[in-house]
Amino acid sequence: MNFQIRPAQSSDIPHIMRIYNREIENGLATWNNIPKSLEEYQQWFTDLEENNFPLFVAEDIESKSIAGYSEYSSFRNFNGYNHTVEHAVYIDPQFARQGLGKALMVKLIEHAKQHDIHVMVAAIDHENTASIHLHEQLGFKQTGYMPQVGQKFGIWRDLVLMQLNFG
């Protein structure tokens, strides 16, 4: 399959919602356990746009299916963190293991470098060794390990913090 990485459009929101809500229900990439509504996703999309934060999708060129997405936004909501962002990447399971996560990450890193970002933070479930390895390949370093800070499916989860510094 051939994919293009492009900025998301409002028409992509239902596809993004489907990918994320599936992860809420079945996966550990997010510890959120409440599916989001279309209205919440539309507001999220608007907030990203208003704050000049990126949202990219990986689109199958032939089928026009959205196979995954990536974004970054504020790390913390204090102005001292204005040059630090936290990112997220989600891939539809049927498109996993095709290099889309890496392609979406590379696009985010390029965007961050062009927009005066100093640090990009990743917060990863400790069992997601594929994501940890991918981040290491891209130059991220583990800077924290937080045992039992969250729950998913009734089990305490450990969080790995990684960061990539620019400049």
- Collapsing DSSP to helix, strand or coil, 85 comes out as strand
Q: pLDDT of 136-162, one tens digit each? A: 999 999 999 999 999 999 999 999 999
Residue 58's DSSP bridge partners are 5, 68
| Structural domains for the chain | 3-117 (3.40.630.30)
The 8 Å CB, 24+ separation contacts for 151-158 are 151/31, 152/28, 152/31, 152/33, 152/125, 157/28, 157/31, 157/125, 157/126, 158/125, 158/126
Give the single-character DSSP code of 97. Answer: T
pLDDT at 1: 59
**Residues ≥6 apart with Cβ < 8 Å to 163:** 119, 120, 121, 122, 140, 141, 143
pLDDT tens for each residue of 7-64? 999 999 999 999 999 999 998 889 999 999 999 999 999 999 999 999 999 999 988 9
pLDDT at 98: 86
